[in-house]
Amino acid sequence: MALAASASSANSSQPGDYASVRKAVAALLPQPGYDDDSAGPIFVRLAWHASGTYDKETNTGGSNGAGMRYECEGGDPANAGLEHARLFLEPVKAAHPWITYADLWTLAGCVALEEMGGPKVAWKPGRTDFVDDSKCPPRGRLPDGAQAADHLRFIFYRMGFNDQEIVALSGAHALGRCHADRSGFEGPWTISPTRFSTQYFKMLTKFKWDKKTWEGPVQYKNEDLGEELMMLPTDLALIEDPAFRKWVDLYAADRDKFFEDFAAVFGKLIELGVDRSERYESAPPMSQEAGEQKEAEAMAKM
């Protein structure tokens, strides 16, 4: 698995130079021979899983800590395969050693989304890395694709999300694919797994999904477009549950609404568990340019 030369040879930057980090991450996205020749989908998954362990009742987990550096979190079966994403990003960390892993992983997900045609997601730094594994969240907080609607609500309500936000976040399945040697499931959800779009919702609503006959876990297939695409039980739960289904139908029909809602909920996701009470004042989202200037000013004072 070759790392992109442009990223590994990136020049070191000054603390707070997030524009350089963004460029370095973008340069890493082409990965010939890996999945669909792109690291983009797995960067999104890394940011997602690094953040999705949050528990609002105990205020534990979330995007602080970069706990996947330790076996207690990195070895969680739900995180299988994410070592590839972390390895891809090591040249960026080496060239910009001042950025925390927790900030790098979440920023990489945002950069990947935008580079793959998705919306801009508000991002700001300030996450810290655990000095050891004592604060890693317990396993079992991430979604299990073999489950149904009640499981989705249990997992996402714990983080503080509602039904609309659950469906919007599920739209990330427009990207990437499953691997039998990681999750047990196999195949892509869409015909363009490196392009962020409403295709996932359109597939759910317009095609018939039949149970796949194979030796793996229960999943569903459709071959109407000339190749086998797949859906998980949690995906079909979105069209079987009326409260979820209304959002699926909306996002399938309205790209702008989906992009707007996804940017908002993904931005909320990567902020879970981050305490900004001391270092940041509450403020509305800024433009990317203004945000980068603010980030640089904030980091220079630390």
Catalytic residues: 49, 189
How far is 275 from 219, CA to CA, in rounded Å?
A: 39
Please give, one letter per residue, the 3-state secondary structure of the chain: CCCCHHHHCCCCCCCCCHHHHHHHHHHHCECCCCCCCECHHHHHHHHHHHHCCCECCCCECCCCECHHHCHHHHCCHHHCCHHHHHHHHHHHHHHCCCCCHHHHHHHHHHHHHHHCCCCCCCCCCCCCECCCHHHCCCCCCCCCCCCCHHHHHHHHHHHCCCHHHHHHHHHHHHCCEECCCCCCCCEECCCCCCCCCCHHHHHHHHCCCEECCCCCCCCEEECCCCCCEEECHHHHHHHHCHHHHHHHHHHHHCHHHHHHHHHHHHHHHCCCCCCCCCCCCCCCCCCHHHHHHHHHHHHHCC
Backbone angles phi, psi at 273, to 5 degrees: 85, 0
Do 45 and 176 meet the contact criterion of CB atoms below 8 Å apart? yes
Count of CB atoms situated within 10 Å of the CB of 59: 11
